[in-house]
């Protein structure tokens, strides 16, 4: 078990009661909050997070199994959030919050695009949480990481960097071993180079979408989480993702694929 993120709760979540046999589904939202997201994009993202949180609370199936963590990369560098509060690096708490208790952060946009480091942190907290769950004798579904960006990886000075290449074989190995599923989403005016990065990170589950349809994206993540609970095969996740890419007009009802019996992950 990682000593960096032991399974303790801060005071604001001290009244959480866990079901000892609840099977968990860790979900990481890895969000670009760099300066290019300033203005309407970051406000749209904040509004979507509030609405998604409300929908998640109302979903009986997901609210007591999904655990949500947020990782941002922007003005605060790379940060893990526990609900509405950013964690100090090395803080002795896990960033994951049970969905029925999750409250979204209020994000601001500034700074540079430390995408590589944010993905590395996302993988780290997923691995640490899985170790905690195993140590507690709890089962879990395959975790999900959702990367959302409108830019390209930069270094700490804001200059384009090719350091992201080191992640590609690591991500391929982790996903082939079914240790997590990564969604890589390009929004706004992401460049061709940015699209290339996302395709390398997540060959099956990458998309470039016009504008900033964060509400539809988060609903797709909920649908994917529901499919994970039911032990769906890869073709179901590919269909859900395809529907997200082609059916994201506001107000249009989505009929997500039905899935089969429940299953657990041990990877």
The arithmetic mean of pLDDT across residues 234-252, rounded, is: 74
Q: Tell me the pLDDT tens digit for each residue of 4-62.
A: 333 444 444 444 444 446 789 999 999 999 999 999 999 999 999 999 999 999 998 89
Residue 220 · residue 203 · CB < 8 Å: no
Reference 72, options 12, 11, 29; nearest CA is 29
For residue range 131-164, list pLDDT tens digits in order: 999 999 999 999 999 999 999 999 999 999 999 9
Provide Rg for the chain, Cα atoms: 17
Res. 99: pLDDT tops 70: yes
Q: Residue 168 pLDDT more than 50?
A: yes
Q: What is the pLDDT of residues 191-235, one digit of tens each?
A: 999 999 999 999 999 999 888 999 899 999 999 999 998 888 889
The two three-digit tokens of residue 122, written as one number:
């996302």
Q: What is the pLDDT of residue 21?
A: 61
Q: What is the mean pLDDT of residues 73-96?
A: 92
Task: Tell me whether strands 97-98 and 66-74 are parallel, antiparallel or unpaired.
Answer: antiparallel
Looking at residue 233, its pLDDT comes to 86
Nearest-angstrom CA–CA distance, 196 and 173: 19
Instruction: Say what the pLDDT of residue 252 is.
Output: 39
Q: What is the pLDDT of residue 247?
A: 54
The length of the chain, given as a count of residues: 267
């Amino acid at each position: 078990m990682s000593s960096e993120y032991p399974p303790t709760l801060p005071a604001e979540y001290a009244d959480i009661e866990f079901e000892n046999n609840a099977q968990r589904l860790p979900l990481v939202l890895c969000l670009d909050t760099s300066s290019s997201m300033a203005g309407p994009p970051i406000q749209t993202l904040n509004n979507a997070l509030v609405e998604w949180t409300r929908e998640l609370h109302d979903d009986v199936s997901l609210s007591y199994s999904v655990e949500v963590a947020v990782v941002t990369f922007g003005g605060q560098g790379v940060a893990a959030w526990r609900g509405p509060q950013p964690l100090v690096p090395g803080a002795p708490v896990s960033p994951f919050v049970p969905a029925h208790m999750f409250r979204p952060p209020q994000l601001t946009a500034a700074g540079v695009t430390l995408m590589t480091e944010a993905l590395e942190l996302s993988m780290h907290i997923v691995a640490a949480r899985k170790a905690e769950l195993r140590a507690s004798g709890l089962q879990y579904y395959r975790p999900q990481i959702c990367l959302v960006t409108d830019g390209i990886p930069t270094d700490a000075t804001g200059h384009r960097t090719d350091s992201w290449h080191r992640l590609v074989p690591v991500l391929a190995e982790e996903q082939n071993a079914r240790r997590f599923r990564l969604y890589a989403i390009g929004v706004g005016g992401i460049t061709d180079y940015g699209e290339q990065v996302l395709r390398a990170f997540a060959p099956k589950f990458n998309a470039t979408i016009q504008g900033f349809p964060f509400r539809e994206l988060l609903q797709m993540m909920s649908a994917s989480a529901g499919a994970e609970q039911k032990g769906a095969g890869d073709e179901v996740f590919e269909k859900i993702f395809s529907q997200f890419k082609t059916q994201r007009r506001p107000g249009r009802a989505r009929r997500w694929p039905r899935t089969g019996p429940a299953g657990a992950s041990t990877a």
